[in-house]
Amino acid sequence: MSTLLIGTCPGPPACADVHTYLFVDGLDLVTRSDGGALGLHPRRLLRPGGPLHPTDAPREVRIADLGGPGPDRAGLTITVRLRGETVVWSGLMYPDREHGVVEEVRFQLAQYLGEVQRVHGTWR
């Protein structure tokens, strides 16, 4: 099982905009997937019943905007689904610490929902 830790940037003056960091096992998923990507606003990703809340049916979730113009740079997406007491993120393609590729991660439901709720509480 992986561990999710969510961070946020409050926007100016620290950053150009408010955005979400998604750390999976200590690695920044968004930055490692695309160095020009910027996580979406926490209110958009973390709201109750929102995109990162898992359901039995898999759903594609945009987690970040990518830098640069063009249709191929529209956004970074993952597939989120619930399998019993496990949240599964798939459709990933980022380097791990050993220079392999992470394609899927699994989280314990209680830890995952607790982390999403913790950070959402700061953005109500």
- The model's pLDDT over 53-90, given as tens digits with 9 standing for 90+, comes to 999 999 999 999 876 555 555 689 999 999 999 999 99
At 23, the pLDDT band (50, 70, 90 cuts) reads very high
Q: How long is the chain? A: 124
pLDDT at 75: 84
Q: What is the spatial distance between Cα 123 and Cα 10, in angstroms, rounded to a whole number?
A: 10
Q: Is omega for the bond preceding 13 within 30 degrees of 0, making it cis?
A: yes
Long-range contacts of 88-92 (CB under 8 A, 24+ apart): 88/54, 89/24, 90/58, 91/60, 92/29, 92/33
Look up the pTM and report it.
0.89
Q: What is the spatial distance between Cα 58 and Cα 124, in angstroms, rounded to a whole number?
A: 27
